[in-house]
Chains A and B, each alone.
Chain A
Amino acid sequence: MTGKAPYFMDITFYNISSENNALNKTLSNGLTLSGTLRTQTSIVNPIITIEGTESIVGYNYCHIPAFNRYYFIKDCVSKRSGLWEILMHVDVLMSFRAGILSSPVVIDSSEDTGKNTYLDGDVWTRLVKTKTDIINFSNGLSESGHYILITAGG
C-alpha cells in the first residue's frame, strides 16, 4: 500500500435565508457529516459526492472547516439512491469576513456610516412634477403712492 492516508473531514450543512451579499450569515440547525475526501476537488468550487442515508436536499449552505471556507450550494445532483453530488461555490464574504472588516475602504454609499445627504447620487429620485411655495416679505413700496410736484423757482 502506497500513498498517504485518506483526508478525513467534516462538512456541516445549513439552510440559510440570509442574503447572499450579507457579510455574516445566520447559521443554525446544521447537519454535520464526516467522511473522507477520496477524489480531487477545487477549494473554490468544490464538487463533493456524498453517500449516505441522510437527505441533504433542502440545505443550501455548508461549512468545510478543513478548507477554512463557507460555501453556497449551487446544485445538488442525485447520482443514484443515496449518492448525491453537491456543487458548491465559496462564499468569500463569510469565509474572509475578518479580513474584509479590517480593510480600509472608501465608501461610495452607505446605510449608516459616513453618509451625506448633500452628496449627489442616483438614490435621489424625483417626479417630473414640482410644487411652488410663495414667501412674502413683510413690507413693500407704497400702495397708493405719493405725489411729487416740482415747480420752477423756490
Chain B
Amino acid sequence: MSELTYEGIVNAVLEYYDTNSSIFNRVVTGQASQAEVYNAFSYIPQAEYVRTISGATMGIDFKQGFVNQYPAPISDIVGGMDSNAGSASYSSGSFYGNIPGDFSTSQGGELVPSAGARVPTSTPGVYNTLATIADKLSLGVTGISIGAKLGKAIDGALYNLAPEWWDEHLPTINPDTWVDIAGGNPLGEAFIRGLFGIKSDGSAVTAYIDERVLAYYYQLLRDSGAWATGAKELVVDNPVYGNYTLRSGIRYIEPSFIAAYSNYEQTPVLHQCTATSGHFDVVVAGRQTGSYPGIQWLFLSKEPYSYQTTLNSPSSLPGTGNPTFITVNGKPIYYHTTTSYDSNFPNYDLDSIINPNPYPLNQFVTPTASGYEYRELYYILLYQSEVTSQSALDGVTDMTGATQYPPTNITGTTTDQVLNQLKTQYPDLFADGITQGVLQEDGSIIDYNYIPIPYPTDIDPQTISPTTPSDTQQDNTDVDPQTVPRIVTDGGTQDPPTDPPDTGTGTATPPALPTGSASSLWAVYNPTQAELNSFGSWLWSSDFVEQLKKLFNDPMQAIIGVHKVFAAPPTGGSQNIKCGYLDSGVSAAVVTGQYVTVDCGTVKLSEQFGNVFDYSPHTKVSVYLPFIGVVSLDIDDVMRASINIKYGVDVITGACLAMITVTRDGGGGILYSYGGSCAVHYPISSGSYTGIISAALTAATGIIGTAVSGNPMSAVGGIASGIKQAHTNVQKSGGFTGASGACGPKKPYLIISRPQTRLENNYEHFDGIPANYTTTLAECSGFVKCKVTHLEIGGAYSEEKSEIESLLFSGILI
C-alpha cells in the first residue's frame, strides 16, 4: 500500500496505460509535467473534472465506481471509502492509495495531492485535512443558504417577481466574473459547487461554498434592494393580554416622521417627535374625538429615553420630556403620549395619517381601556408584537434575532472589491473556512477558499426557486449526515453492474383487525348445545308465545340468526338470552367482539436438494386452507422461508380471511390472502332454509364446473412437447361454502411436489456443474467447460488456437 503521492499517481496511470505508452513512460521516469498528470486523470472513467463556465477546473469528482464500496454509508465516508474523504482509500488491482481532493506543490516543486480540503491551524503553513464530498447546488438553493448566512429569509414573494429569480439575475451582475465562479457550460444550466465537510466522528456535516460566490450573491442582493429600507409594519404575535384584546388594523408609524400635506400651504410639518436619547420601539396614533378633536400619539419603549416635540404652530412651543415608567407583568414599559389638536392644524387631513384605524387610543383594545393608563394595550404592543422591517426587495425579510450585514461600507462594483470589503467589515463571515487547491489543465494550481454556509437539509439541492425553510437557519451550518448529497453519478462511466445482495429486505405492515363490541341493536350469544336446546324449548313454550304475540307477528322475528362458526368467539361473562324484551331464563356466554384471529402456526420450508431442483419448475407447493380450498403458492416465494397462516374471522357473518405470511432473510409480510366463509347457517324458518340449500347447491355446481374447465386431459397432450409441460397446473379444489368447508379438515397443510432426480454418477466430473464464473484456468481443477475465452498464447498457430478454443468450449480436464 502507498500513500497517494506522485508515486501513487504513477500507479494510477499504470492501471490505464500499458507499459508501452509514451505517457506512462514519461510519468514513470519522472519526466511528466503536472499538466500531463492532469491529462492522465482525465482518462480515468470514474474521475470527472468539474469546470466553471469559462472552462477552469474547479474540482475533481470521483464517482461511485471509483471505489469498491456501493453505496457508502456515512461511516464509510469517514472510514475512508468515498471520494475526497480524509482517509479515503481505494484499491484497484494491487494499488492502494488515497483519493485526492487538494493539490499543492512542495518546496521542491513536486506535486503533492492530498485528500479532502485544507483547514488552517494556528500555525502558519500547517493545515489539517477535512474529509469532503462535493455536490452541485442550484443557484436558488445557494441563494437561500447565503441569504440565511446574511440574516435574510427568502419567501415565495421573490418568485412573483420572476419564477427563476436567481437564474435570471445572477449572470447579469458581473458576467465576466460569473463564468469564472459558477460551474456548468455556456449552453447548460449553471450550478454552484458545494463542498460538504465531514466531522471525524461522522456526527455532522458542514456545507461550504466558494467565498467569491458569497461576495457575488451579496452584490446581487445589495443591488436588488435587500437592505434598502421599505415600509415597516407592526406584526402582532399575541393580541390578548389579561382581559383585553388588541383590535386589528393598527398601523405602525415611524418614530420620527415628517408629514407634508399639500392642503396646508404654510409649513409642511404636522407634528414631530424625536428621541433625543434612547429610541422608540413602537409608535401608534389614534383619533381623538369630542370637544378637542385631534390625533393622540403613543410612544413606547422597553428602555428609558428622552424626547423632543415640535408643534409647528405659533401658539405652541417646542418641548422636551421624559417618559412615564411602569411595569406590566414584570416587564418595563416607558411611554408618553401627546396630542395634535385639529384646531392647530385645521386644514390637515388628519385621518389620512391614522387611517384605516380611526379609534382613539383607549379603543385600541376591547373592552375599551379606561383611565389614563392603558397598561394592557402598552404591554401587547410592546411585548406581544414586533416591528418588522420590510426590504425593498419583495420576499426578502430579516430573520428573527439574526445578525444583519447591511452594506454600510460595501460599495464595490466588482466581486473582488465586494469580497475585500466584506472581509474588512464582516470578518466573521469568513471564519472557519477551508481551502482546496485544484490542479488545472496547464499544470497550475488554483486555491479555492470555501466558507461555511447554512444548508437546507429538507430541500432538493437542485430546486430552482426554494424558500427559506426555517427562520433560525442562520447559525445552523451542521447538516444531518443522512441528507448529505451523494457523489453525483449522472453521466460519466461507472463500474459494470455487480450482483446485488442475495437477501431481501423490508417487512410488510401486519394487519390489525377492527375492534369494537357487538352492537347494542342486537345481542350475540355463544350458547352450548344444551343451552341452545333449552332456549329452543322456551321459544316454543306457550308462555313465550302468549307474551310474544303482543310484540311480534312471527316468533322468528325475535331471532336474527343461528349459525356455527369455526373459530372461538371472544366472550365475556354470561347472561340470560333475551329476545326483544323477553328474558328466556337460559344463560349463555355473551360474545363481546366481532373479530377474532386464529394463528395456525408456522412451518419452515427448507430445501431438500440444495440445487435447482428445489425451485420452479421442478418443485411445486400448494397449501390447503380450511374453508377455502387448495391454493398454489409460488415456490420461489416460500422456499427457504418460514410460512405462517393466520385466519381473521368475523364471528357474526362467518367471513374469514386466510393470511399467509412469508418471512425470509429477516423480512417479509403477507404475500398471499384468500377469503372464504367458515360459518354453517342453520335454518330457523322455511325461507332461511331455502336460501341455505340454494347457496350450497350453487357452490356444488361451481366445484363441478371448475373441474370440467380444468380438464386434466389437456396436460396429457402436452407431454409430447417436453417433460416439463407434463406437470401443468391442475385444479386441486374448487370453492367452498361454509357448509362444505365444515366437512373438510380444519388445519392447513402444505402440499409439496418434488421431482425424482436421476443425476448421473460422478456427473460433476463428466459434465460439470453450471458456473458462470470468471477466472483463469490455473485456478481450476477437474472438468472445466468454458463459454468465453481470451487466449493469448505465444507460439501457437491460429489453427492451434482455434482447436484450443474448441476444446475449452467442449470441456477439458485440468
Enumerate chain A interface residues (CB-CB to B < 8 A). Answer: 19, 21-24, 43-44, 68, 90, 92-93, 95-96, 99-143, 145-154
Contact = CB atoms under 8 A, between A and B. Distances in A.
Nearest to B781: A112
Interface of B: 520-529, 532, 535, 557-569, 577-581, 588, 591, 598-603, 605, 610-613, 615, 618, 626-627, 645, 647, 649, 651-652, 678-680, 723, 726-727, 742, 745-760, 763-765, 767-797, 799-800, 803-804, 807-814
B43 to A, nearest CB: 23
20 contacts: A100-B777, A103-B777, A107-B784, A109-B771, A114-B771, A117-B769, A121-B612, A121-B769, A131-B755, A133-B751, A136-B603, A138-B747, A141-B600, A145-B566, A146-B564, A146-B568, A150-B524, A152-B580, A153-B522, A153-B523
Nearest to B609: A117
A113 B752 contact: no
B755 A126 contact: yes
Contacts of A117: 610-612, 769-770
A22 B812 contact: yes
Contacts of B789: 103, 105-106
B569 A105 contact: no
B568 A142 contact: yes
Given A21-B811, A150-B561, A153-B523, A108 B600 contact: no
Contacts of B756: 126-127, 129-131
A107 B807 CA distance: 13
Contacts of A137: 600-603, 645, 747-750
Contact of A109 (B755, B759, B767): B767
A21 B591 CA distance: 79
Contacts of A109: 767-771, 783-785, 811
Contacts, number: 355
B745 to A, nearest CB: 7
B603 A154 contact: no
B770 A128 contact: no
B522 A123 contact: no
Given A99-B792, A111-B782, A116 B770 contact: yes
Nearest to B799: A44
A120 B525 contact: no
6 smallest CB-CB distances across A and B, nearest first, come from A114-B773, A140-B747, A111-B782, A109-B768, A99-B793, A119-B770
A147 B791 contact: no
Which secondary structure characterizes the binding site on chain B? mixed
A95 B807 CA distance: 13
Nearest to B646: A139
Contact of B772 (A96, A116, A126, A149): A116
A134 B749 contact: yes
A108 B770 contact: yes
Contacts of A68: 795
Nearest to B682: A147
B773 A141 contact: no
A150 B769 contact: no
Contacts of A151: 522-523, 525, 558-560, 577-580
A68 to B, nearest CB: 7
Contacts of B814: 23-24, 101
B677 to A, nearest CB: 12
A115 to B, nearest CB: 4
Given A111-B782, A123-B769, A141-B626, A105 B579 contact: no
A106 B784 CA distance: 10
B687 to A, nearest CB: 16
Contacts of B768: 108-111, 115, 123
